[in-house]
Structure 1
Amino acid sequence: MIAYLMKKNLLLPLFLITGVAVHCSVQAQAQPRTIQWNTSSGMEDTVFLSFREAFYSDEDPFYPLYYESFYAGRGYQTRVEVTHTVFEVVAPETLPSSLTQQAIPATFSYETSCGIQRNQSVTSLYINPFIIDQGIVYRLTHFTLLIRQEETARAASQFYDIQSSPLAEGNWYKFYLYESGMYALRGSDLQQQGIDIASINPDNLAVFGNGGEMLAEPNAENQNQGLREIAILVEDGNDGSFDPEDYLVFYGEGPRIWRFNPAYYRYTHSTHVYSDKTACFLTVKDTPGKRIQSVASVNDSVTHKDNRYQKLYVHEEETVSLVKSGKNWFGHSFSPNDTSFTLDDIYFPAIDTTSPVMLITEFVGRSISDDCSFFVSYNDSIVSTSQIRNISPTDNSTFARSKSMIKKITPSADDSIVLNIEFQKGNNTSRGWIDFIELHGTCFLHFTGRQFRFHNLDTYGYEQVTEFSIHLETPEMQLWDISDFHNPVSVQYEIRNDSAVFVHRTDVLHEYIAFNGSDYLTPEWSGKMENQNLYDIDPVDYLIITHPDFYTQARRLADFHEAREGFSTLIVTPGKIYNEFSSGIQDVTAIRDFIRMMYLQSEGKQPAHVLLMGDGSYDYKDRLSANTNFVPAFQSEESLRIGSSWVTDDYYALMDENEGDDAFGLLDIGVGRFPVSTPGEADMLIDKIEHYLSPTPSNQQPWKNSIVFIGDDEDSNLHFIQVETLTSRVSSFYPRFNIQKIYFDAYQRIAVSGGYRFPDAKTALWNAVEQGALIVNYTGHGGETGWGNENVLEIPDINAWTNYDHMSVFITATCAFSRFDNPEKTSAGELVIMNPNGGAVAMLTTSRISFATMNFTLNQRIYDIALRRTPEGQPTLGDIMQYAKVPHYSSTKNFVIFGDPALPLALPSYTVTTDEVLLATGIQAASDTVRALDTFVIHGSIRDSVDKLVSGFSGSVNIRVFDKPSVYSTLGQAPASLEASFTLQDKLLFDGLAQVINGRFSAEILIPKEINYAFGKGKISYYAIDSLQLSDAAGSYDSLIIGGYNAEAMHDFNGPVVSAYMNNTDFITGDITNENPVLLVELSDPCGINAIGSSIGHDLIAWLDDRVDQIIPLNPYYSPAPGLFHSGRVIYPFHGLSEGLHTLTVKAWDMCNNSTQTTIDFWVSSTLGVEISNLKVTPNPFASFTSLTFLHNMPGRTLEVIWEIFDATGRNIRTIENTTYCESTAAGPFFWDGLKSNGDKAGSGVYPFRISIRSNTGQYTLSGGTLLVR
C-alpha cells in the first residue's frame, strides 16, 4: 500500500523504517497513540474498517492507513519514529474482501514525508497498520511516537530583488507579435499611436519584452527577472531625428518557439498554452536604449565547414478540446466519412537530398473495441503508420489515446513536400485527430531576400569552430545571432564567391537569422498603457484578483473586510499582473508568481486569502463564442482521460521552492473563486456574504446547530458507510450539532420512464435546505446537472430554493457537480451559489470527476478543523481547505472553494451550558432522568471560551429536546444497495423559548405522552441570541435520560384553548381584511401544545373553506411563550386570497393527546382602507436616536411611510421616507438620528411629528405624535 503511494510520487520519502531506530541530535519526545478501530457492516460481504486518523488511497478504498501530520516552525523539521507497537488478531470476517493476504506485509512499516506549508515544516506520517504472520492478520492498536525537532538551514527566499517595474514611469505602448522573426516599427507607426516623433531622441528609443516562452511551473526553475529590455537597431539616417520613414528593427518571438532538447538531441517545438500572441512594449527612455552590437569572426582554427542548416516545420492546429479539460487542444478531425487530409504548405528550399528528413507525428484516436490507424504517405509511399489501441466499452475514463511516431524519409529534389494522412477506422465509432506533425530536414544555406532562421546541430560540439557559408542570391543581407533573445548581436561576414562566410565557435549552439531591409514583419498595436508598479506594493492580508468588469464589486468586498476584520487589502487585474510578470500576455504562472512575490516579501505571512473574482474557462484563447475566461484557472496536462484531467485554483497557493510543477505541493494560502460573469452576479454574491456575516434576527436562528448529511445508494453501501463514519466523527467531537441524515435508499424507490426516482428523498432534501443548516454535505454520485442517478437533486430544485436567511455552506464529495470552466454550460454547483434567493453562501466542491475514497479522506479532514472555535477565532474556508488538503493528491485538486476564502462558518460566539436539571417539584432529577408527562426545569447560562459567564448577554434561547436516537434502515432496493441500519436523533419532544437575562435562563418543559418508553439518552439543544448586540450562543446537553411513563401525572382530557384572529386580536369573526391577511392563533393548555408533530396526525393545522384536503401545516409557525410549555401563538401569512367570504378552521392538540378546533369567518376586500394602531416611538425621550413602529392591516403589501418632524413653530426640520414590504402586520423600525435636514443636531425640546402611510394599492392614512429630545 505504501509502496503504491511511492510509485505514484505522492510521497517525498525521508526515510523508511521497519523497526530500525534513527538517532537525531535532539532528544526525542515520546507520545503514546491508540487506534480505536470501528467496523461498519450491514452488508453481505463488505466491511469497512476505520478509525479517527484513517487515510484511504484511490488504490483500495477499504484499506486504511494511519495518517498524522506534525508541524514545526521555520528552520526546523520534525523527525518521527514509531516504537513499542502492540497488535491484536483480526477476525477474518471483519476484514474487507479486498484486503487480501498478498496486500498485507509481513513486517511492520511506515513512512514519513516532509513539505512546507505557510512557512512551517509539515511532516506527514503514514503507517500501514496491518501485518501478517503465518496466515494470521494482525492490526495495530497501540504504539509510541518518538518525535524530534531538528534545526535545518533556512532557505533564502529566491527571486524578487526587483524594486521597481520599468512600467512605473514614462510613456509606454504595447504591441503584439504572432510569429517569430524580424520586426520593424516605423516612425509613421508611432505617429498613429499618438506619439510626437518630432520630440523623440532616437537614441532613447527602447523595446522591452521577454519572448514567447511560457513561465516555468516549478518554483525552483522560475527566476523572475522582470520585464527586460531587448537590443534593437535604429535606422534613422544618423540625422538625430526620428522621421516617419525611419524605423527600428528587433527580433521578436511569437507564441510558438523551438528549443534544443539535449535529451533527444534535436529541437522540439512548444506552443504557448495561454496565448496565441506575445507582447512587447515601446518607450522613450531618459537615457540611451540598448542597441545591437556586432561580433566579428573568430581567428581560431576551423574544425568544421558547413553550408547547411536544419530546417524545421510544424503543423499544429488547436481547434478542439476533446474532453473540454486540460491544456492540450487538437487539430483536424477524422471520421469514417472523412478519412483523408493533405499537407501541401511544406517548403524546404534548397533541400539536401542526401540527408534524411525526420518525420515526427502525434495522432489521437478514439475507437471502441477495435483499433484505428493513421498512415502518412510521401511520394505515394506510406512512410509512417500509427496504430492506436482501442478503448474498452467499459472504460468510462479514457476518451481517446495518443500515439507518437518518429520516422526518417528520403527527400526528393523538389523543395515542396506534400504529405497525405489517411485515417483507417476500426468501426463506425472511430474518430481521429492530428495533434502535430513535425519535419526536420537539412537544407543548403541560400539567402533569397526573405528572412529565415537557422542552426546546425552537425557543427555543435566540444571545442568546435565552424566556418559557415551562405550563398547569396541577393547581395543585401544582415545576419544576427539571436541565441540570447535579449542581447542579439550583428554578425560580421565576408563575401567569397557570392557567399557570406563567417567563423564562430560552436561549442555552444547558436541560432541565427538572416534578413534584409525589405522583408520585415509588422506587429499589431494595442495602444498606450497606464503606468503601473506591482513590485513596489506592500503585502496585504486579503488579495482580490479581478477582471476589470468587476472592479467596483471587488472594491466593495475589500471595503467590507477592511471594516469587519481590519484586513489590509489589494485589488489587481490579471492584465496588470501579466504586464509585469509575463511580458504582457496571459500566463497563469504570472498570477502565481505575483502572489508568491508578496508571500516571500512578508516571509510567509501575507496574503492569507486570495479571491479570484470572475469565472474561468478551459479555453484560454477565446476560441469559444461567449467565452468566460475572466480569471484563468490551472488546467492539467492530461487532456484525453476524463478521469485524470482536472482544473484547480490550488496552483495559486503553492509558494515554496519545491512546489508548483503540475500544481503539486502543500497549500500556503486560501484561494476562493467567484464564478461570475456579470457585475450583477458579483454584487449578488457579496450581498449574500454580507447578509450571512451581518447578524440580524432573521438569520440568527437555530439552523446554525444543524448539519445535513446526504448519502447516495449503491456501490455496496460505500457512501452510506462514509456518511456514517463522518456523522459519528462529528457527533463525537462536536456533540452540540444536530445531525440530519438523508440516505436515498432509506426512502421508497419508484420506477419511472427511463429509470428510478426517490421522490420522498427529494422532498426531504428540499425541506432540509429550506429550513436551513450550517453545512449541507453530500457524498455520492453526481454530475453537472445534480445528485444521484435517480435525480434526487436537479437544477429546477436548486433554482427554486429560497433559504436566503439561513444559507448553508455546501460540501459536495461528488463528481463534477461544480464544474465552472465550461462556458457552454452552467453547472448545478454554480447555480447553487449563484441562486440570488438562497442556496449556498459558499461551497467546498468538486469541479471534475473525483474518487470516493479521496473525497472521503478530504471530507474527514474538513470536519477536523471546520467546527472549531478558539479564543483566537475560527478558521475561514481558506484555512479549512489548506488543512484538509494535507497530504496533497491529484484527486483532491478538483476540490475548489466557491465563494469568499476569508468567510468563516457562522458558528455562534458563545456556549450555552446546562447548569441544573430539576423536576417541577424542585427536586433534582434522579440521574437526570425524566418520563413521559414529567415536567422539569432547566437552569442554564451563556459562557465564553474560558467558561466565564457572559453577564452582558440578554435575549432569548431556543430550547429543543430530542428523544433517544431512533433506528432506521436502508431498504436495499438496487442491486448494489444492501439493507443497513442507522440511528438518527430526530424525534423532537419540545421546541420553545426562554428569556436570557444577564447570561442566565430557566425554562419549564413537559415531556409529551407519546414517546418511546424505553430508557435512553436524550439530547437538549440550545441556540441563544442577544436581543441588543445580536451575538449568539449554542450548546447541547446529552446527559438527560428519557424513558418510562409518569402514571401519577395529572389527568387532562380537555383540548387546548384556541383563539383565532385575522391581523390583530381586535378581530371579530365576520370582519373585513385585505387579500393578504395574517392569521393569529393564541393557544394554551396545562398539558402543553403539541406543535412538534410528536404523534402521527397530531399536528397543529388549519384549512380554508372546508377544504380538508388542502391542509395548512402550522407547526413551523408556532412560537411558545418564553420559558413556558403550556401556551404560545401562531403567526401565519396568507397571500392572494380571493375576494368574498372565507371560513378558516384551526385544529390543535395538547401533549396529552386531546384536541380542539375552532372556526372563524372573514371577508376579503382589496379596497380596504389603511388602518394603524400601537404607534410607538422608542426611546422617547432620547438623546442620539429613536425608532418608530406601528401595527397595520395591510400585510403582504408595500407601504410608503413618510415621517415628518417639526419644531415648536411648525417648521419642518426633517422628512424621512421609507418604502417597505410588510410580510406581517408589523412595520418598522424606522430610525431618526436626531439630525435636521441640514445635518445639525436638533436641540433639546419637544418636536411634533406626523406619519403618512400609503399602500401600493392607493389606500392612505395619517397619524402623529410628539418626540422629546434631551
Structure 2
Amino acid sequence: MQLSIAQSRQVENVLLEWASANFNETQDSTFKKLTFEGAVYGDSLDAIPVFLHRAKSSDPGFVNQFQVSNTRFERVQPQERQLLIDAGFSQTQLQLSNQKEINRRELYSVVTFYPFRFNAALNDFEKLVSFDLISTQVPLPKNALSAMHQYPVASVLATGTWFRICVTETGIHQLTFADLTELGVNTQGLQRENIRIFGNGGGMLPEANNVSRITDLKENPIFIPGAQTGAFTSTDVVLFYGESPMQWNFNANTKAFEHQVHLYATESCYFLTIDNGTGKRITQQPNLSAPANQTATTFHDYAVHHRDMVNLINSGREWYGELFDVTLSRNFVFRFDDLVLNQPGRIRSNVAARSSNMSSFAITVGSARFNQSISQIFPAHVTGAFANPSEVAMPFNPTDGNQVEVNLTYNRTASGAQGWLNFLEVNVVRQLRFRGPQMGFRNTAVIGAGNITQFVISHANAGLTVWDVTDRFNVRVQETLLEGSELRFRQSTNQLRNFIVFDGSTFLRPIRRGRVPNQNLHGMRVADLFIVVHETLKPEAKRLAEFRSQNDNLSVAVVTTTQIYNEFSSGMPDPAAIRNFMKMFYDRATTTAELPRYLLLFGNGTLDNRDILRFGGNLIPTFQSQNSLQFDRTFMTDDFFGLLDDSEGINADGTLDIGIGRFPVRTISEARDVVNKKIRYQQRSPASINSPNTFVPSNLVETFADWRNRVLFVADDQDFNRHFIDSEVLANRMENIFPNFNVQKLYLDAFQQVTMPGGARFPEVNIALNRAINQGALLINYIGHGGFAGLAHERILTFTDIASWNNMHNLPVFMTATCEFSSFDHPNPSDVTAGVRIFLKPTGGAIALFTTTRLAWSGPNMVLNRNFMDVAFERNSQGENFRLGDIIRHAKVRSSGQLENWRIRNFVLLGDPSMLMAYPRNQVRVESITDTIRAFQNVTVSGYITD
C-alpha cells in the first residue's frame, strides 16, 4: 500500500498493492484469504481483508472524518470471486466506518472498510485498486475526552482500626458482642456510636469504563437496638443489610428478574471500623399520607438452579452444570410458599448440546411442555464449536401451591450426543404472607409514575419489622400499621422497591475474616511500573522492584491484589478492580508524562477464577472471553487490564494504553528463580548473581557476547509454504532495515524428514534448534504449528528439549506465532505448557515470550508479527529502543485499531514489560578489508566501535 500526501488539500493518494490469494490456517483448518500489502482482518469475514488507516489528530479538540474519491476498481479474478461468494460478501458500495481512538491520551481518527463492491451492471465483484482518501476535521463533542470518574485523595482504610467480614446470602445479618470479640475487636470500652460498616454490596464491577462506579468504600447504615450512644455490651447486637455476590436484576423488557453469577467471588465483603468517628444509622421512613392508588397483596419471587461444574473447552467464562448423557432426564424442585396459582410464572432455561444432528431438550413444568432445539455441530472441525448453546423463556401456570417441579429431558438424536444444563431460572407470584424468620419482597405490577402502593402483609403480628432496602446505602425502617393479622404501609412505587420483613428470631451470620491493615492506594503517586502481586509472592516482587528502580531508573510501586480489592471492589476478587486501579492514575494524569507506563501481573492465573475444581493457584485472575464454546472464537487476555479510556472495556474491546506482562509463577520458589533470571540478564559477569559455590559450566556463553546480535527465524513446513514465506518476509525486512543484526534461519523444509513410530520427525532440526538456543540469540521468531507440548507436528521442540537447555546467561526473547503454546491458565498445576516451562526454567529457557494462549490464525499472526518485529528494532523519539511493554502495545495497536479482533488478544507477554532487551549498545564500523582473499590466508580487518 502506497500513500502520497498532498498536504494543502488533506488528500492521501492510496494505491493498494494486491497479492495472490494465500492461505490462512490454524490447527486442522486451512482456507484461502484475499490480501494486499498492509491489510488487516476483522472477525466477521475471515477471508476478506480490511483497509485501515489511522491518523493522529493535530488538535485534541478535533477528529478527522474520512471520505474516498477518484476510486478505481478492477474486476476480481475467478479465485477471488469465489472467496467473496463463499464469505457472503454483498456490499454494492464502499462502506466506510469512521471512529475515534484514544491511545495514551492521544486522539486518533481511524477509518476502515472492505475494498470491494458488487457491480450490478457487470454482475461481478470488483476490487479497489487506487483512490483518494480525503480527511476533514470536525469538532469533538464537549468533554468527549474528559475522564468520567473522580477519585478521593485518600482511602477510608488509611486511618483507624479495620476488620473484614463477608456474606454469602442477601438479607439482614447480625454481629454479636461475641462475634466482634472473635473478630479481634477490642470490645473493652467500645462505644456504640463508633461502630461503622463500609462496603459496596455484591455483584461484579462493570467491564465498561464508561459506567459509573463507586470509588473506594461507601458507608452502609447499621442498626443497634437500644440507645444510640454508650458502651456496646455483651447483650448488644449490630444488624446490617448485606448482599450476595449473585445479583438479581429486573429486566423491563421481559418483565422478569434475571440472575447474574459473580465470575470471580463467592463472598461479598464488608469492612467494620470502631474508631473513625460516629457511624451512619438506619432511620425510620414514615408512611406516606397521600392515598394509595395501588394495592399489593402479592409479590414477585425468583429462584435459580445454577451449578458451575465444568468448563467445556477450558476457555471462556461460562461454566456448565449437570451432564445429560447416561442420565438423560432430571427433575429440579423449586420450593416457594404460598404460590398464586392463577398468576403465570416464567421459566428460563439455558443449555448446551454436542451432537452431529439437531437435538433438543424437553422442559416440563406442571401441565406445560416446551421443546428447546439446539443446532448440530461438526465434530471433525476442532477449531469450530465444541457445543451449541440454547436459551428459551416460557410462561407456565403453577399447579402446586408450595413448589415448582421442572423436568428436563435431553432428546438425543445421534450416538454419543451429550447435553449440559447451564441454569434453570424461575419467576413466580406469591401471596404476600409472612414466612419467617425474614422474607424479601417486591412487586413489579405496581410500578408507575406517581403510583402510591398500599402493601398488605398477611399472617403478621406485632413483632414484625420492615426494612426498605431499595437503596443499600440508605436502608430505612419502614413505618407500619398492624390491623389484626395484617401489616400495612404505604410507599411510593414510581420505581421498583425492595423490602425485607423479619421477626427478629434469627438472622444471617457473616463470616469473620479478621483484621485489615491500614492502606491508602488512593493516596499513591503514579509510577512508571506497577507490580501487582499476590501476597505470598510479595518479597520477590519487591526485590525485582528494587532492581528496576536502581538499574533502569524507573519509579516502581508494588501493591498486592488484596489491597486493590479492598479499595476498588469492596474486598472481592475482580479483574476490573485491577483495571480500575490503573485507570485511576490514567484519569488523574494531566500530561502524557504523568501516565502509567507498565503493569506487571506477578502471579499465575487460571480459567477457574472461583476455584471450582479446588486446584488453587489462581493468584491473579484471568479475563476470559464471553464465548466459551467455540475454539476459534474464545480467548484469554491480559489486555483487559490496560484498556483505560472511557470508551473501552466490554469483552476486552479497545486499544492498549499501557504495556502489560505477567509472571505465571505459583510459588515463592518459582518467583525467586524468575527474578534471578531478570537480574542476571542485565549483568555483565556470568556468575555475579550466583554464590561463590555455584557451579558455572565450562561451555557457558557470556552474558555480554555476540549472541546479542543474532536473530533466529524458525519456520514450519507444509501449508503451501505459508510459514516459510512469512518468515522470509520478516527475515528480509530485518536484513534490509536493521542490517546491524545477524539473521539466522532454521526452516524445516531445508532438513530431511524422518518417519518414526510416533510419526514424521525432523531430528536434525531438534539438534540445530537446541544448539542455537544454547549458543544464544537476542530474539527467536517462530512461525508455524504448535500447541501445549511444543512446536510443529513433527515435535521440533519438546519438554525433553527444554529440560536439556543450558543457556542461563544468554536468554532469548521468543516470539511464537503459533497456537496455545503458552497457555498458563490451566487449573491443574501439573498441566504446564511448553511456553510456560521455557519461561520458568531456572537454568535457561527464555527471558520473555510474546506468545499465544489459545488458537491463532496465520493471517492475523503475520500482521502482528510484522509489527512486533518492526517496533522491536525501531527507536523512539529519544533515540532509544522500546521496552518490551511498549513493543507489545505498539504492535497490537498497529495490528488492529478499532477492529474487534480477538485473535491477537490471545497474544500475551510472559515477562517484565519494563525490561529492555539486551540490544548491543555499540556498533562496529569497518574501515578497510582486503578485497581479494586466497585460501588459508590470514586477513586483517580494521575498524572501530561506535555508539
Structure ranking higher in strand proportion? 1
> 1:80 touches 1:112 (CA, 8 Å); kept in 2?
yes
How much does 1:390 deviate? 2.2
- TM-score, L = length of structure 2: 0.90
Say yes or no: does 1:680 pair with 2:687: no
1:77/1:811 Cα in 2 relative to 1: closer, same or farther (>3 Å)? Answer: farther
Q: Is the 1:48–1:96 contact (alpha carbons within 8 Å) kept by the matching residues of 2?
A: no
Give 1:630 shift: 0.8
The partner residue of 1:621 within 585, 610, 615 is 610
The secondary structure found in structure 2 opposite 1:124 is: strand
Distance in 1 (alpha carbons) for counterparts of 2:927 and 2:848? 36
Match of 1:366 in 2: 354
Match of 1:878 in 2: 885
1:545 alignment partner in structure 2: 532
SS in 1 for 2:445: helix
Correspondent of 1:568 among 555, 565, 577: 555
Quote the offset at 1:788 in angstroms. Answer: 1.6
Q: Distance in 1 between matches of 2:862 and 2:514?
A: 51
What are the within-5 Å matches in structure 2 for residues 221-240 of structure 1? 221-236=211-226, 240=230
Structure having the higher helix fraction is 2
Closer, same or farther in 2 for the Cα pair 1:648/1:423, shift >3 Å? same
Q: Note the alpha carbon deviations across 1:892-934, whole angstroms, 9 max, x for none.
A: 11110001001122222233233344547xxxxxxxxx78788
1:352 equivalenced with 2:364 (yes/no): no
CA distance in structure 1 between the partners assigned to 2:397 and 2:90 by the alignment = 57
Whole-angstrom distance in 1 between the partners of 2:935 and 2:132: 49
For normalisation by structure 1, the TM-score amounts to: 0.68
Q: What's the offset of the Cα at 1:129? A: 5.4
The question of whether the paired residues in 1 share the 8 Å contact of 2:779 and 2:815 is answered with: yes
Match 1:835 to one of 815, 833, 841? 841
Going from structure 1 to structure 2, the CA distance change for 1:414 and 1:528 (only over 3 Å counts) comes to: same
How far apart, in 2, do the equivalents of 1:461 and 1:91 lie?
60
Partner of 1:454: 441
> Which of structures 1 and 2 has the bigger CA Rg?
1
Residue 430 (structure 2) aligns with: 443
Q: Is the 8 Å Cα contact of residues 192 and 228 (structure 2) preserved in structure 1?
A: no
Q: 2:283 matched to 1:280?
A: no
Q: Structure 1's 903 and 479: CA in aligned 2 closer, same or farther, altered over 3 A? A: same
Match of 2:911 among 899, 903, 919: 899
Aligned-residue offset at 1:633: 1.7
Question: Which residue number corresponds to residue 116 of structure 1?
Answer: 102
Match of 1:663 in 2: 652
Root mean square deviation, CA, Å = 3.1
CA deviation vs aligned residue, 1:841-879 (integer Å, no higher than 9, x gap)? 101000111222111111111122111135431111111
CA distance in 2 between counterparts of 1:882 and 1:608 reads: 10
Deviation at 1:491, TM superposition (A): 0.8
Q: Distance in 2 between matches of 1:452 and 1:91?
A: 69
Name the counterpart of 2:858.
852
- Mapping for residues 685-764 of structure 1, pairs under 5 Å: 685-696=674-685, 698-764=702-768
**2:516, 2:755 → 1: CA distance?**
63
1:64 CA drift (Å): 4.6
Please say if residues 165 and 533 of structure 1, whose CA atoms lie closer than 8 Å, have aligned partners that are also in contact: yes
1:1074-1153 aligned within 5 A:
none
Corresponding residue for residue 252 of structure 1? 242
1:504 aligns with 2:495: no
1:547-597: CA deviations, max 9, x gaps?
111111111111111112211111000011101111111111111101111
| TM-fit CA distance, 1:173 | 1.1
Contact 1:76-1:149 within 8 A present in 2 as well: no
Q: Out of 296, 315, 326, which is 1:325 matched to? A: 315
Whether the 8 Å contact between 1:919 and 1:934 is mirrored in structure 2 is no
Structure 1 residue 199, shift from structure 2 partner: 0.8
Distance in 1, matches of 2:16 and 2:944, equals 36
What is the distance in 2 between the residues matched to 1:386 and 1:127?
39
Gaps of 5+ in 2: 25-29, 687-701
Partner SS, residue 291 of structure 1: coil
Map 1:906-1055; keep pairs closer than 5 Å: 906-919=918-931, 938-944=941-947
Q: 1:353 to 1:902 in 2, by over 3 A?
A: same
Distance in 1, matches of 2:45 and 2:371, equals 39
Q: Does 1:55 align with 2:40?
A: yes
CA distance, structure 2, for counterparts of residue 911 and residue 50 of structure 1: 38
Shift in Å, 1:651 = 0.7
Note the C-alpha offset of 1:429. Answer: 1.6
Q: Secondary structure at the match of 2:351?
A: strand
Aligned in 2, Cα 1:503/1:39: closer, same or farther, shift over 3 Å? closer
- The match for 1:559 is 546
Which residue does 1:1052 correspond to in 2?
none
1:547 partner letter: H
Is 1:491 aligned to 2:478, yes or no? yes
| C-alpha contact 1:159 1:224 (8 A) present in aligned 2 | no
8 A Cα contact 1:358 1:440, kept in partner: yes
Is this contact kept in 2: 1:73–1:119, CA < 8 A?
no
Verify: 1:412 aligned to 2:399, yes or no.
yes
Larger RCO: 1 or 2 (CA < 8 Å, sep 6+)? 2
- Cα offset for 1:143? 5.9
Distance 1:50 1:408 in 2: 51
**Cα drift, residue 76 of structure 1:** 4.5
Deviation at 1:421, TM superposition (A): 2.5
Give, in angstroms, the shift of residue 121 of structure 1.
1.1
Counterpart residue identity of residue 206, structure 1 = R
Distance 1:96 1:907, change over 3 A: farther
Shift of 1:485: 0.8
1:1019-1074 CA-to-partner distances (Å, cap 9, x unmatched) read: xxxxxxxxxxxxxxxxxxxxxxxxxxxxxxxxxxxxxxxxxxxxxxxxxxxxxxxx
Give the whole-Å Cα distance in 1 for the aligned partners of 2:270 and 2:931. 83
- Secondary structure of 1:560 counterpart: helix
For residues 205 and 389 of structure 1, do their structure 2 counterparts lie closer, same or farther at Cα, with a shift above 3 Å needed? same
Q: What's the counterpart of residue 1056 of structure 1?
A: none
AA in 2 matched with 1:117: N
Rounded Cα–Cα distance in structure 2 between residues aligned with 1:42 and 1:200: 74
* TM superposition shift of 1:282: 1.2
How far 1:33 sits from its partner (Å)? 5.6
Give me the whole-angstrom Cα distance separating, in 1, the residues matched to 2:794 and 2:477: 71
- Is residue 744–residue 761 contact of structure 1 (8 Å, CA) maintained in 2? yes
CA shift for structure 1 position 39: 6.1
Post-superposition shift, 1:472?
A: 2.6
Work out whether residues 181 and 251 of structure 1, in 8 Å CA contact, stay in contact via their aligned partners in 2. Answer: yes
Equivalent pair of 1:49/1:96 in contact (CA under 8 Å): no
- Give SS of 1:490's match: strand
Tell me by how many angstroms 1:601 deviates.
Answer: 1.7
Deviation, 1:93, is 9.1
Q: 1:142 to 1:733 in 2, by over 3 A?
A: farther
Decide which moves more: 537-546 or 135-144: 135-144
- Matched pairs, number: 907
The residue that corresponds to 1:395 in the other structure is 381
- Mapped pair 1:468 → 2:472: no
Matched with 2:27 is: none
Structure 1 equivalent of residue 283 of structure 2:
293
* Residue pair 1:448, 1:474 contacting (<8 A) in 2 also: no
1:915, 1:46 → 2: CA distance?
A: 51
Q: Is the CA contact 1:854–1:892 (under 8 Å) kept in the aligned structure 2?
A: yes
Instruction: Give CA-to-partner distance per residue, 1:408-434, whole Å, 9 cap, x none.
Output: 222224313332322332334222222
8 Å Cα contact 1:713/1:744 also seen in 2:
yes
Instruction: Report matched runs for 1:572-583 at 5 Å.
Output: 572-583=559-570
| Aligned pairs for 1:1085-1234 within 5 A | none
Is the CA contact 2:460–2:487 (under 8 Å) kept in the aligned structure 1? no
Q: CA deviation at 1:116?
A: 0.6
- Partner residue, 1:242: 232
Residue in 2 that maps onto 1:1231: none
Residues 947-968 of structure 1, C-alpha deviations (whole Å, 9 max, x = no match):
xxxxxxxxxxxxxxxxxxxxxx
Structure 1 residues 562 and 512 mapped into 2: Cα distance closer, same or farther (>3 Å)? same
Match of 1:951 in 2: none
Offset at residue 373 of structure 1 (A): 2.9
Give the Cα separation in 1 of the matches to 2:536 and 2:612. Answer: 20
CA contact (8 A) 1:309 1:444 kept: yes
Distance 2:365 2:638 in 1: 46
8 Å Cα contact 1:919/1:935 also seen in 2: no
Which residue is 1:203 aligned to? 193
Alignment partner of 1:404: what SS? Answer: strand
